[in-house]
Amino acid sequence: STKEYICKKAKGQGPPPQPPTSGPGWNDKCGSWMADPFNDFCYLFNYLSMRTWAEARADCINQGGDLVSITDPFEQAFIHGVIQTTPTGISLWMGGHDSVTEGGWEWTDSSPFRYIHWNAGNPDDYFGEDCLSILINSGYWNDDNCQNKRGYICKRRGRTPEPPPPHDGFMTALVCQNSLAVIHCPEESVINIQSAFYGRKNDDTCPHFGESGGTCTVDGILPIYRERCDNRPYCVARAHIEVDPCPTVSKYLEIVYSCEQKVCLHGLGVEDGN
User: Where do contacts with Ca ion occur on this chain (CB under 5 A)?
Assistant: 98, 122, 124-126, 129-130, 142-143
* Residue with smaller CB distance to Ca ion, 57 or 251: 57
Comparing every residue's Cβ against Ca ion, the nearest one is 125
Least distance to Ca ion, CB of residue 155, Å = 22
Comparison of 92 and 196: residue with beta carbon closer to Ca ion: 92
User: Where do the DSSP E strands lie in the chain?
Assistant: 34-35, 41-51, 66-67, 91-97, 106-107, 131-135, 141-144, 150-157, 171-176, 180-184, 189-200, 216-217, 234-238, 252-261
d(CA 253, CA 181): 10
Kindly tell me which of 36 and 130 has the beta carbon lying closer to Ca ion.
130
Q: What is the DSSP letter of 181?
A: E
Closest to Ca ion by CB, 96 vs 158, is: 96
User: Nearest approach, Cβ of 109 to Ca ion (angstroms)?
Assistant: 19
The nearest distance, CB 95 to Ca ion, in angstroms, is: 15
Instruction: State which residue, 130 or 254, has the beta carbon closest to Ca ion.
Output: 130
Put residue 165 in one of left, alpha, beta given phi > 0 → left and psi -120 to 50 → alpha.
beta
Cis amide linkage into residue 123, ω under 30° from 0: yes
As beta bridge partners, residue 51 has: 150
Q: Least Å distance between CB 136 and Ca ion?
A: 15
CB of 82 to Ca ion, least distance (A): 23
Nearer to Ca ion by Cβ, of 109 and 143: the residue is 143
CA distance 224 to 196: 9
Coil, strand or helix: which one is 196?
A: strand
Quote the least distance from Cβ 98 to Ca ion, whole Å.
Answer: 4
